[in-house]
Structure 1
Amino acid sequence: TNVRASGTDENIQLTPFIDLSLEQALEFIDDDELVEVTPDNIRLRKKVLTESDRKRASRRMAS
């Protein structure tokens, strides 16, 4: 007996990336983010990559 799960698929709509110049990226970032600059790309990323590490770091800063 083959039974399928009756749950619905939850699709996440992602917004397309915005191609930023270096100046725009520097204006756009928050205190917890960095701008990575390579010869081919300019990327925004968090200082602490994993969410659990970010929560741990924010608790350390609060105490």
Structure 2
Amino acid sequence: MQSNFGHARELLEQAWLQLPGDDETSVKSRLAIDILIEAVPTGEHSKPYRQTEIIDFKRAAKSK
């Protein structure tokens, strides 16, 4: 099962917006969410690509 990084980022951004306060807990929470938001694309783009099978279309068409 593949992760939906775009949706995860969207949810983190929504969580960030729910903490507009200037109190210490809100500020620290936003900083922590900022780190997570930055980690999502880093993780998404650093994972190795899985190898795919290249199909020879001429051979595939002949077998049908």
Q: TM-score range by the shorter chain?
A: under 0.3
With normalisation by structure 2, the TM-score equals: 0.24
Greater Rg, structure 1 or structure 2?
Answer: 2
Greater relative contact order, per chain length (Cα 8 Å cut-off, separation 6+): 2
TM-score of the superposed pair, with normalisation by structure 1:
0.24
Relative to its length, the structure with more helix (as a share) is: 2
Q: Return the structure number with greater strand share.
A: 1
